Structure 1
Amino acid sequence: MAISAESKDGGAAIAARPSGRPRSARADEAIIDAALDLLAEGVGVDALSIESVASRAGVGKATIYRRWPGKYELLMDCVRSMKMAQPEPRGENVRDDLISLLGVIGLNDDSRSEKVFPCLIPEVMKNPDLRVLYQQLIEPRRARIRTVLQRGVATGELRADLDIELTTLMLSGPVVMQRMLDWNPAIQRDGLAERVVDALLAGAAPR
C-alpha cells in the first residue's frame, strides 16, 4: 500500500522509492535519529515535517523522499528502530514461550521511547493510513503468539475451544498499556509478563 505524500516540489504524490545509487546507512540513521529527537522534544506528529527532519539530520528533503514515500512510513521505521528483536519460541511449553514473547513488548534501550510512543498512539488511532502501517509492524509479534497458542491447543495444554485472536489480544494488551502508557501506576512492571500469562492460563487451561 502506498500512502500519498507531498513531493519535494510540492506537486504530485510519491508512491514508491525510485531506483538510484545505493542508500547510505549513515544517512538512514541520521534521519531516523532526527525524527525521534524531534518527537522526544515534544514536536507532535501533526507538526513534524519532512523539512524539519531534513534540517535536523543535515540532509536534503530529496534524500528523505528517496527512502520513504512520506512522513508516516518514516515514523513506522522510527518505531521499528526502537523495538527489541522478537525471540523465537522454543516450543517446550506454552507458558515459557508466552512469557518470552511478552517480555520484550515495550522494552528497548532507547530512552526516547517513553516520550515517543505515547504521542504516536493517538495518531495511530485517528489516522487510518498510519493505523494500517502500525498493524503491519506489530503483526509478526501477534503471529508468534498465535502460533504458540495454536500449538498449545494441539498439545492439550490449552482448551480446544480457545479463542485464539481474543487470547492474543488479552495477552499483549495489558503489557502494551502498562509498559508504554503506565496505565495503572499501582502495577509494578517487574514480572508483568509472568503475571499476565499466569492469570490468563488459569482460565485457558483445559477444564
Structure 2
Amino acid sequence: MNAMTTASLTGQERKAPGRPRNAQADEAILRAVLDLLSEGQTVAAISIEAVAARAGVGKATIYRRWPNKEALVIDAVAAMKGPVPDPAGESVRDDLVTLIKANRSGHARGYSKVTACLLPELLRDESILEMYKAVVEPRRDVMRSVLRRGIETGELRADLDVELTLLMLSGPSMMHGLFKWEPRVPDEGFVEKLVDGVLRGAAAHPA
C-alpha cells in the first residue's frame, strides 16, 4: 500500500465516498498538507480551501474522504512516517535496527522539515500533541513489544526499564536525523552503533 494512503489512526469513520477512491487524488491531498506544513504554516492556519487549491481538487473531494481537518492532518503525518515494518522476531538487535532505520528512511527524511515545523506546535497546543501521539504511539508500541519480548526470552535484563530504553533509542535518532546535532557522528552505521551502545547496558549478558 502506498504510504500516502495510510488509514487514519484516530478511529474516526470517514464519510462514505460518493464514488470510488482515487489514489492519485489521495496522494495529492496528503502531499499538499505536508507541503503547507513544511512551509511553516501552522495546523490552525491550514484550511481545507488551501489544501484543495494546492492539490488541484475541489473541497468536496476532500470532504468525501476526511470528515474534518484534524483527521486529514493525522493521515498526512502518518503518510509522512510511512508504514511500520513487521519485525522478524529472531533478534532484538536486528529488530531494533530495522525499526529505527524505517524512521530514518529516505521517505521520512524528505519530510524532516515538516517535523521541525510541527515541534513548536506540539509544545504550544495540547490537542495537536495528542494528534501527533495518535500517529507515533502505535510505532513506539512495536518497539516496546520488541523490548518486552527480549526480556521474556532472556536477551535483555529482567529489570530493564522499557520506557527509558525506548527513549534512549528514539531520542538520539530524532535529534541526529533532524538537526545533525553532532556532525562528527557519521550517518553510515549510526543506527547499528546506537542500538549496540544501548544494548551494552540493556543486554542480559553484555558482550
Considering the TM-score relative to the shorter chain, is it more than 0.5? yes
2:106 counterpart SS class: coil
CA RMSD of aligned residues (A): 2.4
Change (3 A) 1:170 1:128: same
Instruction: Give the structure 2 partner of residue 104 of structure 1.
Output: 102
Instruction: Pick from 19, 29, 32 the counterpart of residue 16 of structure 2.
Output: 19
Instruction: Give the structure 2 partner of residue 115 of structure 1.
Output: 113
Instruction: Pick from 163, 166, 174 the counterpart of residue 165 of structure 1.
Output: 163
Deviation of 1:112 (Å)? 4.4
Answer whether contact 1:83 1:106 (CA < 8 A) is retained. Answer: no
Instruction: Give the structure 2 partner of residue 50 of structure 1.
Output: 48
Deviation of 1:133 (Å)? 2.2
Of structures 1 and 2, the larger Rg is shown by: 1
Percent identical pairs in the alignment equals 51
Instruction: Give the structure 2 partner of residue 10 of structure 1.
Output: none
Partner Cα separation in structure 2 for residue 44 and residue 136 of structure 1: 18
Answer whether contact 1:45 1:119 (CA < 8 A) is retained. Answer: no
The structure with more helix, counted as a fraction of residues: 2
Deviation of 1:31 (Å)? 1.2
User: Is 2:129 aligned against 1:131?
Assistant: yes
Q: Which has the higher contact order (CA 8 A, sep 6+)?
A: 2
Letter in 1 for 2:59: K
Letter in 2 for 1:57: A
Runs (4 or more) in structure 1 with deviation over 6 Å come to: none
Give TM-score, length-normalised by structure 2: 0.81
Instruction: Give the structure 2 partner of residue 190 of structure 1.
Output: 188
Moved more, 56-65 or 159-168: 56-65
Alignment of 1:138-153 (within 5 A): 138-153=136-151
Unaligned runs of 5+ in 2: 1-9
